[in-house]
Chains A and B, each alone.
Chain A
Amino acid sequence: MSTGATGEIYRIDWIPGTDVLHGTCHCGAEHTAQDPVEMWEWMLAHPEGHRPQESSDS
């Protein structure tokens, strides 16, 4: 219900059979982590540390 529609989608998949979270920013950058707090910190730091199509392990 925000008025500022941006169309930005963030996605975090918890990979089945593991404890790993896999995040995809709306810019296409990807990241893996085992802590949702850290994952959201990375996600919301966009564009800092976000290079599209590159994975980084934490």
Chain B
Amino acid sequence: MPHTTAFARNQWYVAAYSHEVGREELLGRTILGEPLVFYRTEEEGAPVALADRCVHRRFPLHEKPSRLDGDRIVCGYHGFTYDTSGTCVYVPGQKRIPRTARVASYPVVEQDSLVWVWIGDPQLADPQTVPRARHLDSPGWVTVRGMEPIDADYGLLVDNLLDLSHETYLHGGYIGTPEVAETPITTEVDEGAGIVRVSRHMDDAACPPFYAKSTGIEGRITRWQDIEYHAPCLYLLHSRIAPVGVLPEADGSDPNGFHTEITYAITPSSDGHVYDFWMVSRDWAIEDAEVTEFLRGNNHTVVMQDVDALNLLQKTLGTERTGYQELSINIDTGGLAARRILARLVEEGDKPVEKVL
């Protein structure tokens, strides 16, 4: 039976990068099993998210020859036309528009070069609760990014990212060195905020090619990996590397450290499918195009190693009998914490909402 983690509703999810949502192309994405279409308004350029099925005969509104007419979206099958609220404002051949002719509209927030969508009860959507990733859209930072759909349960990607000891084996020769798997971790859970933090500080480690070739550091390094997982969607890995023994200054400044922010958005698409948005941001060598291209290519290779492994794992788990056993050890402390937070968010999202009188 396929491995599936339940979806946590009443949460914000990254639906797209800002540059993917425009007016030339209608963008279709399925999130938590809900097909959505994204576009921007003509004047303000505000992103819009509507249900991606025409109410008439369920034609996908993002598929050609569907098109935009100003801020309205025109179904490519029979011309049903919807405004940005999802209300149908035109049907062919008649004046009366049925009262039920509307598609759902979804709350959207555009922030830090990401387009977030709220899946759940729109009344509960609070834009203030969208977690930040300021480095993605800040002066002094350069980001390479991509998105890979994975045919695997999103819980497998969460597991993968919360336990970086796999770098040593799956990503050896790229970002993995023996010290990653050998170094103990510290795990912290902020229950109320739904944040899992996993830290691994390596005092004296080999410099993996990913960093050696991009930073020019020769010899061994001090390497810190501080994960901050804002369940369910946003994963931040604060990476600091420096020549071995070089630490931040007493005043907190860190002129000799190389800071790389590795960001993932883990967006469940449908059961057994997840969008893997990956971003690598740096505040060093920001004008060096060669470094940019190296990091883009190298990180894409690393991501694809994960994609291949998770595709295989999902297939394999699908052949297991129900109730199969797995084994967790110390390296899994953070992953187990993430699973539990997700289970709680799933439960909260499934509860009927109490109305405030």
Contact = CB atoms under 8 A, between A and B. Distances in A.
B191 interface: yes
Give the interface size bracket for B toward A.
20 to 34
B333 A5 contact: no
Contacts of A21: 330, 333
Interface of B: 11-12, 124, 126, 129-131, 184-194, 230-233, 328-330, 332-333, 336-337, 340, 344-345, 348
Nearest to A17: B184
Contact of B333 (A2, A12, A44): A12
Nearest to B8: A1
Interface in A15-58: 15-16, 19, 21, 26, 34-37, 39-40, 44
A12 B187 contact: yes
17 contacts: A1-B233, A2-B193, A2-B348, A5-B193, A6-B192, A8-B191, A11-B186, A12-B337, A13-B186, A14-B187, A26-B191, A35-B329, A36-B330, A36-B332, A39-B333, A40-B337, A40-B340
A37 B330 contact: no
Contacts of A10: 188-189, 191, 337
Contact of A37 (B187, B190, B328): B328
Contacts, number: 82
Given A1-B12, A1-B231, A40-B337, A16 B184 contact: yes
A34 B192 CA distance: 27
A9 to B, nearest CB: 6
B27 to A, nearest CB: 23
A19 B331 CA distance: 10
B333 A1 contact: no
A2 B345 contact: yes
Contact of A2 (B328, B330, B332, B344): B344
Interface of B is mostly: mixed
A7 B340 contact: no
Contact of B186 (A4, A7, A14): A14
B184 A37 contact: no
Nearest to B200: A14
Given A1-B12, A1-B230, A7 B192 contact: yes
A9 B337 contact: no
B129 A3 contact: yes
Contacts of B344: 2
Nearest to A44: B340
Best-surrounded residue of B131, B192, B231, B232 (most CB of chain A within 10 A)? B192
Contacts of A9: 188-191
B228 to A, nearest CB: 13
A33 to B, nearest CB: 10
Contacts of B189: 9-11
Contacts of A1: 11-12, 129-131, 193-194, 230-233, 345
B187 A11 contact: yes
Contacts of B193: 1-2, 5
A44 B343 CA distance: 13
A6 B191 CA distance: 7
B336 A36 contact: yes
Contacts of B231: 1
A35 B86 CA distance: 51
A12 B186 contact: yes
Nearest to A18: B184
Contacts of B332: 36
Contacts of A14: 184-187, 330, 333
